[in-house]
Each structure stands twice: as structure tokens, then as C-alpha cells.
A and B are shown apart, each in its own frame.
Chain A
């Protein structure tokens, strides 16, 4: 699938007309901003991937919007973030389905993995549905890194920090694998500060 790297603009909303593509959020510049992906053409199917790691005292504040205006469109939005010590993030994930956009399916998954302490996370997944023949859903989780996983890795000889790193890497891996463009994939991994396969 075609991959489009979208740089966030801290001062406003980046509006794009959806095509059959994978849209990857680029946090290398601004950690603030919004992407509004507008489905205007019938039958278009797209995905949005946003991966971010919030290091010490950093703050991420962004929004994704899937705006469905045409029938028979589909969108899946994946947003995953890791919070290290005193990191904070604020994410709004909207799915808007217009009256005209029948037979639309739109999903959103937002997972936040908390590794550090004194973290703050705000998640607001929003659905606004005006059509009836649609499938729309979202799921959002915020949870601490599983201590039993860390313990297991430590029992295999890794130290605590290495164990956490490996778990964080695994948390992002399945979504990184979606990015078929190697250059973009490497850029995302570098920005996350992780190794990737």
C-alpha cells in the first residue's frame, strides 16, 4: 500500500483528501497538530498510523479526524504511544460519518503504554454518526507495562531497562510492520528511539 508521511503543523489542521493509502504521522518536527483525512470519493479505503514515544517532560498534543463524506469508504486509525517518566500526552481521535456516507466502516484503536512515573494521559475518542448503515467503533486503553513480562525477561538475563525497551519495541512492532516504505519506517523507528526488525 502506498505510504504517505504526514508532518504535523503545530499551528493548525492538516487536511488531506483520502486516497487508498497508509498515512503515517511524522512527529519529527512538531509534536502538536491535527490530521483531518476527508473521504470524498466513493470506495476509498485508508489507514492512519500514529506512533509516538514521550520522553522526559515532553508533551504530545495531537488529533486525528476521519471524516467520511462519501459512501462505501473505510478507515482504520491506529494510535499507539509510550509514556516515559513525566511524559504527558493529549490525543483526540474523531470519526465523523456524514448522512451521505452509507456503507462506511471506520475504526479507531488507541493504546497508551505507561512505562515511567508521574505521567499524564488524556484520550478522547469521539464518534459522531449521522448515517445508519455503518460500522463504527473505537477502543482506547491506558495501562502500565506488565510487571510479569518485565520479570520474565529479567529472568532470561536482561536488565530492567533492556526488558522495558524490548517490550516497548514489541508494542510498536506490529504497526511498524504495516509501513512498507523502508525509509519512512526507519524514520519512525528512529523518532521512537527503538530498534526495528
Chain B
């Protein structure tokens, strides 16, 4: 059967939908490009302790020395000299909604998140450019002893956590972009969940990038103390720029004995953003860490959330959805490093490529000699929607223990003609049928999302597919 040319565009009309760029008043904007002076300036602006300045300067040296990775996607077009490394919209952090500048309120309105809904959610933190300007914490969170602040604010108020954990899970020398982030980081969230505290509602952060050529280098540090439980979510819809923009975040999570933590990200970057993120969790005895990761948009995403399973019985999971549309390359996956006995892990990855997009699954399962009785299961499925698109699978399984039980499976296919035919024979249009099949394909991951994210993601995919197929 002759495959009909499917003209499917997710994010094709991004500009009209999300592509606005309101004029924000910046209190401070560093000059373009990266130098020791810029790094010093950032640290000085934030009144940071001396050790953090040293940390940044060392990381800057590491960044200069580290070569650009030659695997993954094409990173050669990033121009580090054409990026603002620090932009501060207003002078102080806003806590009351009334104090938030009008342009920024408009931005949030355009995103369709009413204030009422935000109040309803526990502790919304919205990142407008490099500094968290809006943060509201519900009283009940504070009563439980939970700390949920911007990373900058937390460094001032709770330096003890930083000397102990900051940069310990992901040292600056880990990779070039972790080094860059370590040198110029700004914003991001700090979360501390005390021992035994169970947070029922997700902690939410909403990110925006809003200046031309502005890099976003947020830094997130999360500590889930013994026996605690929490869920952190973040989502992005960034406006369209004409020039390339760089997003290089670092997320460090420590899940202590018996704790359970889930980190959910849905990112929908505009088509010119390089999204190069390092995410890693240290998972201690009998603790559980889950990464739920949705990647839409961007020119190139390279992101492989990892779990270092360091305690007996630790468990790690990655659930990943990627959508690669026109001119996009999603290079995503996950890494599980089994270091202690009786550890287990699972990676489920679903990717869709369309309109010349490319999706790659890149993953690693490593079982060290000390990790007796490790179990791991990896499943990655890819859908290719048209002949211009492509998909890759690059898993590595390095098993240095004789008692391990490791499974990996991957499939690549198109939407089955027989499935389309069946649905169309039941009265659905081709677009509706395709949309339904795609929804079903990603459903195992979507059902793990908080309701509003699941609705948003499903709606986005449905809207984009309707009327553009045929």
C-alpha cells in the first residue's frame, strides 16, 4: 500500500500559540559572552560566599578545557559568545501575586495558567528568566518543615546543605555543560523534605525563558531525607527566538534511606533551543527514585536522567517520551548504575518522529561487581510517522556481575495501516485515527503524569495532529 505523505506538525504553529516575547524590564543584564569577569559579576550580584565564587571559577576553567562532545547531536553551531549568561528581571523576589510586574502576569496569562489554579497547587515557583520572581508556598508545606526555595535564596538561608551536597552528585568536571552550568548557574529550585514527611501534592515549578539569546542555566538541588515522599514537577513552554538559545541545567537529587521521590519534567522548547541537561540522583538503601521526562520541541535535546543505586535494595526508574518534529533531534534516554546489591531499575522510553525529525534513545545499564542480584528492564519503542524522519536506539549494557538479570527490548515501526484502516472503518477520520494511535502509544508514560500535565500533553498532541494530517 502506498503510504500517503503525512504532513504532521507538532509545534508547527508554535509562534502563534506560544511564540510571544513580552518586553520585560530587566534590572540587570550581563554583557554577552562568557569570561572570568562575567562569572565574578554573577557571583557578586548574588552576594555569594567566597567558596561558591571559587567553585564557579574552577568550573569555568573546566568548561574551557573540556572538549565539546562529538556524539549525540550536532553541537558545533552553539556560539558561546552570543549568549547572555545572567539576566535579572527585577531586583527582588516577589512573593505576592500583586507585586508581580504586569508584563510577567501577561506572560503567565498567555500560558493559560490562571492564578486561582496556581494558588490551588502546593507551592508554585515560576522562573521568569534567570531569577525566581514569584514563589508561593502554602503554609502547610512550611509547617511540615519542607524547604522549597529558589536555589539562590536557599544558598543564603541554608548554606549547610550546599557545603554538604552541592556539586557532589554532578561535579563540574562531569561534562562540558555541567561545567558551564556550574560556572554561571542561576535560579532553579532547592527542595528539602524532612525525615518521614510525605508530601501529597506535587511541588511545581514553571519555567520560562524570555530574552533574546538568553541562556538558561538553572540549578536544582533536592534532598529527600529518610523515609520521606514527594513529587516535584516542572514544565516549559518557551517563546520563539530567531537565534539559537542554550539551556544547560543541572539537577541533583539525593534520595535517602527508604525515601521515595519522583521528578517530572515536560519540556516544550521552541525550535531553536539547545537543551542540554544533566540530571542525576543518588539513591540510597531501599529508596526509590523516578524520573518522568517528556521532551518536545528544541533544536537538539541531549538528556539522560540517571540513577546511581548506591544502597542495598535501591530502585530507579526513568519514563521518557520524546517527540522530534521538523528540524529537531531528541537524543534522550536514561542511565542506571547498579552499585549495591539487590538493586533494581526500569527504563521505559517512547519516541515519535515526524516531519524530518529524529529521535534517539541512548541509555546505559551498568552493573558493578559489588551489585549482586541486580535486576533491570529496558523497553524502548519508537514510532516513525513519515519517510523523512528517523529513529535510533543506542543502548549499552555493561554487566560485571554474574548474578544480574538484565533485559532490554526495542522496537521501531510506523503506524500500522491495519490499525488506521480499522479505526477509519469505525468512522474516524485519518487524523483522528492517527491521533488516537499516538495517544495509545504514549499512554503508558502519560498515565504516570499529574492530571494537568497529562491533559496538557494529550491536548497538545491532539491539537497539533488534527487538521494537519492528509
A-side residues, CB < 8 A to B, are 83, 99, 102, 112, 114, 116-144
Residues of A within 8 A of B413 (CB): 134-137
User: How far is it, in angstroms, between the C-alpha of A133 and the C-alpha of B411 when the chains are bound?
Assistant: 13
Are B409 and A132 touching (Cβ within 8 A)?
A: no
Contact mask for chain B residues 399-420; partner A; CB cutoff 8 A; 1 contact, 0 none: 1101111111111111000000
**Known interface pairs A114-B403, A129-B382, A131-B387; 6 further A-B residue pairs with C-beta atoms within 8 A, sorted by A's residue number:** A126-B392, A131-B384, A137-B410, A143-B407, A144-B402, A144-B404
**Which chain B residues border A139 with CB–CB below 8 Å?**
407-410
Q: Does B41 contact A (CB under 8 A)?
A: no
- A141 and B407 contact, CB distance less than 8 A: yes
With A and B bound together, what is the CA distance between A122 and B399 in angstroms? 6
CB pair A144 B403 closer than 8 Å: yes
Nearest-Cβ distance from residue B160 to partner chain A, whole angstroms: 42
Q: Residue B55 at the A interface, CB < 8 A?
A: no
B393 touches A138 (CB 8 A): yes
Chain A CB within 8 A of B460 CB: no
0 or 1 for each of B418-436: is its CB under 8 Å from A? (1 = yes): 0000000000000000000
Q: Report the separation of the CA atoms of residues A122 and B389 in the bound assembly, to the nearest whole angstrom.
A: 30
B404, chain A: closest CB distance, angstroms: 6
Question: What are 17 A-B pairs with beta-carbon distances under 8 A?
Answer: A114-B402, A118-B402, A121-B397, A122-B396, A126-B395, A127-B382, A127-B410, A129-B390, A129-B391, A131-B387, A132-B3, A132-B385, A132-B414, A138-B393, A139-B409, A140-B407, A141-B408
Complex Cα–Cα for A112 and B391 (A)? 26
Residue of B nearest to A118 (CB): B402
Q: Is residue B398 within 8 Å, beta carbon to beta carbon, of the partner chain?
A: yes
Q: Residues of B contacting A144 with CB < 8 Å?
A: 402-405
With known contacts A134-B412, A136-B411, A125–B395 Cβ distance under 8 A:
yes
B411 surroundings in chain A (CB, below 8 A): 135-137
Q: Which single residue of chain B is at the shortest CB-CB distance from A121?
A: B399
Determine if A126 and B399 form an interchain contact, defined as CB atoms under 8 angstroms apart: no
The answer to whether residues A143 and B393 also contact, given A121-B399, A125-B410, A137-B412 and a CB cut-off of 8 A, is: no
- Least Cβ–Cβ distance between A99 and chain B, in angstroms: 7
Question: Are A117 and B385 in contact, with the CB atoms below 8 A?
Answer: no
B80 at the interface (CB under 8 A from A): no
Q: Roughly how many angstroms separate A123 CA and B363 CA in the complex, as a whole number? A: 12
A28 to B113, CA, bound (A): 67
Q: Are A138 and B410 in contact (CB under 8 A)?
A: yes
Size range of the interface on B?
A: 20 to 34
Shortest Cβ distance from B380 into A: residue = A127
Question: Residue B28 at the A interface, CB < 8 A?
Answer: no
Q: Contact: B387 with A102, CB < 8 Å?
A: yes
Contact (A116, B408) CB under 8 Å given A132-B389, A140-B397, A142-B397:
no
CA of A59 to CA of B405 in the docked complex: distance in angstroms? 21
Q: How far is the CB of B358 from chain A (nearest CB, A)?
A: 9
Q: Cβ of B389: which chain A residues have Cβ within 8 Å of it?
A: 132
Option from B369, B387, B402, B407 in Cβ contact (under 8 Å) with A133: B387
Q: Nearest Cβ distance between residue B73 and chain A, in whole angstroms? A: 14
The reply to whether A122 and B397 contact each other, CB–CB distance below 8 Å, is yes
Which residues on A sit within 8 Å (CB–CB) of B398?
A: 121-122
Verify if B97 is at the interface (C-beta below 8 Å from A): no
C-alpha gap A129/B406 in the complex (Å): 24
Chain B nearest CB from A94 CB (Å) reads 10
- The reply on B26 being an interface residue by CB < 8 A is no
In the assembled complex, the CB of A197 is this many whole angstroms from the nearest CB of chain B, namely 28
Q: In the assembly, what is the distance between CA of A114 and CA of B400, in Å?
A: 11
Nearest CB in chain A: distance from B181 CB, A: 29
B386 close to chain A: CB less than 8 A: yes
Given contacts A102-B387, A117-B402, A123-B397, contact A137 B392 (CB under 8 A): no
What residues of A have a CB within 8 angstroms of the CB of B410 in the complex?
125, 127, 137-139
In the bound assembly, the distance between CA atoms of A120 and B409 in angstroms comes to: 20
CB pair A142–B392 under 8 Å, yes or no, is: no
Complex Cα spacing A118 to B413, Å: 38
**Which of B387, B393, B405 is packed against the most chain A CB atoms within 10 Å?**
B393
Decide if A142 touches B406 in the complex (CB within 8 Å).
yes
> With A and B bound together, what is the CA distance between A130 and B391 in angstroms?
7
Q: Which residue, of B386, B405, B413, has the highest number of chain A Cβ atoms within 10 A?
A: B413
Give the docked Cα–Cα distance between A118 and B403 (Å).
Answer: 9
